[in-house]
Amino acid sequence: MTEKTLERRAAMATLLADRPQNLFVVPGLGSTTWDAAAAAGGNDDRDFYLWGAMGGAAMIGLGLALAQPKARVAVITGDGEMLMGLGSLATIGVKQPPNLFLIVFDNGLYGETGMQASHTQNGVDLCNVARACGFERVLDVYDPEGLTVLAGMLRKSNRMLFARVRISREDAPRFLPEKDGVVIKDRVRKAVALLG
């Protein structure tokens, strides 16, 4: 098991750099929402920032991906949020949406509640869970080269994938996007409508 990790803000910035118009992001409750906001330098209309609904990010991504085949949908969430919706990996594995990319920033910690250990630092391997749920393309990303490969797939791949991005345990400063859920929802819907 490698000890290499990536810094979360830089990793998110790399994944979303020069973002194509049709790349939508569902970041999970907590740190990945702050990471996405930081990468956008504030707010991006194509991000559905989650301030709650823990465990729901992957399924929100599935509904969006099924509804809008022209969109590329990246769910980028944390290990704690993914563990709360572990069944959704099975549900998505059955549906195999080609335009859904599930990315977990894994530091083995619940960051928002005070850095308590999650199951992923105690033997639970989300890559293996994803494989067992029917994800054929599974990436374990821990260095800049792997991140570049993943960023490329986000733009070009037409196959569902699961990626674990091993991130370091340093907490990043809070970077808060829009908090009003109605505003966030309406912005995403307008951005979807622009796809035609």
Partner 1 sequence: MTDAPHLTLVKSAVTWPDELFDVLKRADIRQVGYVPDAGHSRLIALCKADPDVHDVSLTTEEEGIALAAGAWLGGQRAVLLMQSSGVGNCVNMLSLVRACRFPMLMLVTMRGEWEEFNPWQVPMGAIVKPTLELCDTHVTMAESPDQVVPLAQSAAQIAFGGDRAAAVLLSQKLIGRKVWK
Contacts with partner 1 by CB under 8 A lie at 26, 48, 51-68, 71, 85, 87-88, 90-91, 94-95, 181-182, 184-185, 188-189, 192-193
Q: How far apart are CA 164 and CA 104, in angstroms?
A: 5
Of the pair 12, 71, the CB lying nearest partner 1 is at 71
Of the pair 73, 141, the CB lying nearest partner 1 is at 73
Q: How far apart are CA 33 and CA 44, in angstroms?
A: 11
User: Within 13 A of 167's CA, how many CA atoms are on the CB side?
Assistant: 29
Distance of closest approach, residue 71 Cβ to partner 1, in angstroms? 7
Distance of closest approach, residue 149 Cβ to partner 1, in angstroms? 26
Of the pair 63, 152, the CB lying nearest partner 1 is at 63
Of the pair 41, 52, the CB lying nearest partner 1 is at 52
What is the Cα Rg of the chain in Å?
A: 15
Distance of closest approach, residue 63 Cβ to partner 1, in angstroms? 2
| Cβ proximity of 10 and 16 under 8 Å | no
Which residues does 101 contact at the CB level (< 8 Å), separation at least 6?
Answer: 72, 73, 74, 75, 153, 154, 157, 160, 161, 163
Of the pair 11, 154, the CB lying nearest partner 1 is at 154
Of the pair 73, 109, the CB lying nearest partner 1 is at 73
Distance of closest approach, residue 10 Cβ to partner 1, in angstroms? 28
Distance of closest approach, residue 188 Cβ to partner 1, in angstroms? 5
Distance of closest approach, residue 152 Cβ to partner 1, in angstroms? 24
